[in-house]
């Protein structure tokens, strides 16, 4: 299986452009693993078709979450690795960084997962992800014509999101 990034990882990623757009792409998943939204701003290398790519991303987060909970030194009660956790059990991670990108992750208790992939030098984006969650509520959840659990098709949401993400440091 090929992992995105492939073999050609340059020693240092390109510095953020003058326009200030540090973000590569963003995913929003719901609790059932449906990719509600995929936005792409700057992604020169693609190795998988989008469906596989979404699944791989969701699977990565799912496994990583169960791993991080398993490694947690502060918690006495731990299930076996891979055993489904009850909601509220275990800890969760909020970002990881490689030499070429940083992935920030937020999950709401209702199972909405927001993933933002940026330049590795990006600062702590937890507040920004929370803000994006608020945007999602205002533009998607409150839209009476949106059917929960289906991919989001909202120009207004996309535009607002683009604008906000462009301003991120």
Of 18 and 86, which has the nearer Cβ to other proteins? 86
Of 7 and 110, which has the nearer Cβ to other proteins? 110
Among 67, 71, 81, 141, binds other proteins (CB under 8 A): 141
β-sheet bridge partners, residue 118: 23, 102
Among 5, 9, 46, 55, binds other proteins (CB under 8 A): 55
Q: In what order do the strands lie in the sheet with 35-40?
A: 35-40, 23-29, 113-118, 102-107, 95-97
* Segment contacting other proteins by CB under 8 A, of 14-22, 106-114, 116-124, 155-163: 106-114
Does residue 85 touch other proteins according to CB under 8 A? yes
Does residue 111 touch other proteins according to CB under 8 A? yes
Does residue 44 touch other proteins according to CB under 8 A? no
d(CA 31, CA 75): 25
Dig out the tokens for 47 from the structure. 């190795």
Residues 120 and 135: beta-carbon distance below 8 Å: no
Does residue 145 touch other proteins according to CB under 8 A? no
Does residue 31 touch other proteins according to CB under 8 A? yes
Residues of this chain that interact with other proteins (CB under 8 A) are 31-33, 55, 58-59, 62, 84-88, 108-112, 130, 133-134, 136-137, 141-142, 148
């Amino acid at each position: 299986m090929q992992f995105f990034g492939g073999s050609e990882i340059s020693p240092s990623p390109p510095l953020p452009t003058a326009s200030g757009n540090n973000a590569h792409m963003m995913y929003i998943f719901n609790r059932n693993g449906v990719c509600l939204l995929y936005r792409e701003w700057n992604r020169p290398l693609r190795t998988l078709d989008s469906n596989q790519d979404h699944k791989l991303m969701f699977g990565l987060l799912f496994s990583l979450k169960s791993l991080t909970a398993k490694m947690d030194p502060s918690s006495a009660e731990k299930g076996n690795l891979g055993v489904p956790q009850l909601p509220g059990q275990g800890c969760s991670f909020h970002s990881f960084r490689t030499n070429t990108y940083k992935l920030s992750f937020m999950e709401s208790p209702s199972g909405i997962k927001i993933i933002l992939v940026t330049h590795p030098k990006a600062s702590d984006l937890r507040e920004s992800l929370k803000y994006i969650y608020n945007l999602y509520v205002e533009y998607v959840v409150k839209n009476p014509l949106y059917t929960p659990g289906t991919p989001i098709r909202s120009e207004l949401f996309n535009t607002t999101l683009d604008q906000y993400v462009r301003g991120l440091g």
